Amino acid sequence: MTYRLSIYPMIRISPAVSLFLIGLLSASSGQAHQPSDPISLPSHSDSKRQSPNPTVHYEMDITVHPDRHAMEGRQRLTYTNTSPDTLSRVFYHLYFNAFQPHSMMAERNRELPDPDPRTAPRIFNLGPDETGYHRIESLTQDGNTVSHRIFDTVMEVTLAQPLPPGGQAVFDMTFASQIPLQTRRSGRDSREGIDYSMTQWYPKLAQYDARGWHADPYVGREFYAPFGTFDVRITLPSEYIVGATGTLRNPDEVGHGYVSDSLNMDIPAAQTDSLTWHFFAENVHDFAWSADPDYIHDVLETEAGYTIHLLYQPDVAEVWQTLHEAAPKIMAFFEERYGPYLYPQMTIAQGGDGGMEYPMITLVTGRRSPPSLHGVTAHEVAHMWFYGMIGSNEADHAWMDEGFTNYATREALAHLRGQPRPSHAGALAGVLNMKRLGLFEPLNTPSDWFDTNVAYGVSSYSGGAMMLDMLGYVISDSLRDRFLLEYHRRFAFRHAGPHDVEHVAEQVSGIRLDWYFQQFGDVNWELDYAVQRFRQTRDGTAWRTTMTLKRLGRAVMPIDLQITLEDGSVQWVHIPLGIMQGHKPVPEDWIVAAPWAWTSPEYALEVMLPVRPRSAEIDPYVRTPESDRLNNTTARPIEISFLKPPSPNMRRYNYGWRPLVQVSQFWGLGAGVQYRGAYPLTGKERKGMVKIWPQVLFSGGNEPDVSYFLADHEPSNLRALNGIDYDFSNSEEYLKGYMIKWSARAQKQLGVDQNDLWVSFSDPDDLLLPRSRRLTVGVNGRFLTSDRARTRYTSSLHLQDMLSVYWHLEGASDWYRYALFVETGVEDDGPYTANRMSMDLAVGMPIGPFTGSVRLFFGGGEPDVLSPDKRFRFGGVSIEDQWNDAAYRTVEGLFEEPFRDAPWVAFGAPGPVAYMRQTEPYAHSEHIHHDQDTDAHAHRNGDSDIHPDEENIPFSVTEMTAFSARLLTPRLQGPALLRPLRLELFMGIGHVGDLNEEERDERRKRTLMDAGIGVRYDLNRLRGFDRWVRQSDFLSDLVLVARFPLWANDYEYADSDAPFAFRWLLGVQLDRLPWD
Q: How far apart are CA 490 and CA 508, in angstroms?
A: 12
- What's 408's domain CATH number? 1.10.390.10
**Single residue among 474, 498, 524 that ends a domain in this structure:** 524
Contact between 795 and 944 (Cβ < 8 Å):
no
Q: Which pLDDT belongs to residue 932?
A: 37
Averaged confidence pLDDT in the chain: 87
859 pLDDT exceeds 50?
yes
Q: What percent of the chain has pLDDT over 90?
A: 67
Q: What is the dihedral of CA 235, 238, 240, 244, to 10 degrees?
A: 40
Give the closest residue to 42 by CA, choosing from 570, 652, 486, 700: 486
Q: How confident is the model at residue 997 (pLDDT cuts 50, 70, 90)?
A: low
- Asked if 268 and 328 sit in the same domain, the reply is no
Q: How confident is the model at residue 260 (pLDDT cuts 50, 70, 90)?
A: low
Is residue 441 one of the residues assigned to a domain? yes
Q: How confident is the model at residue 51 (pLDDT cuts 50, 70, 90)?
A: very low
| β-bridge mates for residue 157, sequence order | 90, 148
Q: How confident is the model at residue 38 (pLDDT cuts 50, 70, 90)?
A: very low
953 pLDDT exceeds 60?
no
Is residue 258 one of the residues assigned to a domain? yes
Q: How far apart are CA 336 and CA 344, in angstroms?
A: 17
Q: Which pLDDT belongs to residue 930?
A: 39
pLDDT per position as a tens digit, 666-691: 889 999 999 998 888 888 889 999 99
459 pLDDT exceeds 50?
yes
List b or e across 129-167, with b for residues whose CB sees 16 or more CB atoms inside 10 angstroms. ebbbbbebeebebeeeebebeeebbbbbbebeeebeeee
Is residue 1076 one of the residues assigned to a domain? no
- Asked if 500 and 609 sit in the same domain, the reply is no
CA dist list (Å): 959 to 183, 512, 694: 52, 73, 43
- Asked if 594 and 457 sit in the same domain, the reply is no
Q: What is the dihedral of CA 123, 129, 131, 132, to 10 degrees?
A: -150
Q: How far apart are CA 576 and CA 588, in angstroms?
A: 16
444 pLDDT exceeds 60?
yes
- Residue range 13-42: mean pLDDT, rounded: 34
Rg (CA), the chain: 36
Contacts of 28 (CB under 8 A, 6+ apart): 477, 478
Q: How far apart are CA 384 and CA 571, in angstroms?
A: 41
34 pLDDT exceeds 70?
no
Tell me 249's DSSP state: S
- Alpha helices by DSSP H, 343-401: 370-383
Asked which of 381-385, 466-470, 905-909 is least confident by mean pLDDT, the reply is: 905-909
- Residue range 84-106: mean pLDDT, rounded: 97
Is residue 1075 one of the residues assigned to a domain? no
Q: How far apart are CA 440 and CA 788, in angstroms?
A: 54
Task: Identify the domain containing residue 620 by its residue range.
Answer: 529-635
- pTM for the model: 0.83
Q: How far apart are CA 794 and CA 948, in angstroms?
A: 5
Contact between 508 and 479 (Cβ < 8 Å):
yes
Q: Which pLDDT belongs to residue 13?
A: 30
267 pLDDT exceeds 50?
no
CA dist list (Å): 312 to 291, 369, 967: 10, 14, 40
Contact between 887 and 1070 (Cβ < 8 Å):
no
Is residue 973 one of the residues assigned to a domain? yes
Tell me which H or E stretch contains 404: helix 402-416
- Asked if 796 and 927 sit in the same domain, the reply is yes
- Residue range 626-642: mean pLDDT, rounded: 90
Q: What are phi and psi of 324, to 5 degrees?
A: -55, -35
pLDDT per position as a tens digit, 305-356: 999 999 999 999 999 999 999 999 999 999 999 999 999 999 999 999 999 9
Q: How confident is the model at residue 751 (pLDDT cuts 50, 70, 90)?
A: confident
Q: Which pLDDT belongs to residue 829?
A: 78
Q: Where are the beta strands (DSSP E) in 929-1074?
A: 937-940, 943-946, 959-968, 981-992, 1007-1018, 1039-1048, 1065-1069
Q: For Cα atoms 1055, 1061, 1062, give the angle at the middle one, nearest 5 degrees.
A: 95
Q: What is the DSSP string of 425-455?
A: HHHHHHHHHHHHTT----TTS-GGG-SSHHH
Give the closest residue to 116 by CA, choosing from 429, 349, 363, 447: 447
pLDDT per position as a tens digit, 125-138: 999 999 999 999 99
Asked which of 91-95, 110-114, 453-457, 999-1003 is least confident by mean pLDDT, the reply is: 999-1003
- Asked if 831 and 771 sit in the same domain, the reply is yes
Q: Which pLDDT belongs to residue 965?
A: 97
Domain count, the chain: 4
- What's 692's domain CATH number? 2.40.160
- What's 116's domain CATH number? 2.60.40.1730
- Asked if 458 and 512 sit in the same domain, the reply is yes
- Asked if 112 and 45 sit in the same domain, the reply is no
- Asked if 615 and 652 sit in the same domain, the reply is no
5 pLDDT exceeds 70?
no
Contacts of 168 (CB under 8 A, 6+ apart): 78, 79, 80, 81
Q: How far apart are CA 867 and CA 579, in angstroms?
A: 69
Contact between 855 and 841 (Cβ < 8 Å):
yes
In the 3-class helix/strand/coil scheme, how is 116-168 assigned residue by residue? CCCCCCHHHHCCCCCCCEEEEEEEEECCEECEEEEECCEEEEEEEEEECCCCE
Q: Which pLDDT belongs to residue 718?
A: 62
- Asked if 740 and 766 sit in the same domain, the reply is yes
**Single residue among 609, 635, 661 that ends a domain in this structure:** 635
Q: How confident is the model at residue 8 (pLDDT cuts 50, 70, 90)?
A: very low
**Single residue among 635, 670, 690 that ends a domain in this structure:** 635
Is residue 779 one of the residues assigned to a domain? yes
985 pLDDT exceeds 90?
yes
3-state secondary structure of 383: helix
- Asked if 783 and 826 sit in the same domain, the reply is yes
- Residue range 80-84: mean pLDDT, rounded: 95
Q: How far apart are CA 133 and CA 150, in angstroms?
A: 12
pLDDT per position as a tens digit, 214-258: 999 999 999 999 999 999 999 999 999 999 999 999 999 999 999
Is residue 97 one of the residues assigned to a domain? yes
Neighbours of 940 (CB within 10 A): 10
- Asked if 249 and 372 sit in the same domain, the reply is no
pLDDT per position as a tens digit, 759-804: 999 987 777 777 789 999 999 998 887 777 776 665 566 788 899 9
- Asked if 455 and 568 sit in the same domain, the reply is no
Q: How far apart are CA 1010 and CA 1063, in angstroms?
A: 11
- Residue range 143-163: mean pLDDT, rounded: 97
Amino acid at 40: S
Q: Which pLDDT belongs to residue 54?
A: 65
pLDDT per position as a tens digit, 871-895: 999 999 998 898 888 887 888 777 7
Is residue 60 one of the residues assigned to a domain? yes
- Residue range 93-112: mean pLDDT, rounded: 96
Query: How many CA atoms, within 13 angstroms, populate the side-chain half-sphere of residue 1069?
Result: 20
In the 3-class helix/strand/coil scheme, how is 850-914 assigned residue by residue? EEEEEEEEEEEECCCCECHHHCECCCECCHHHHHHCHHHHHHHCCCCCHHHHCCCEEECCCCCCC
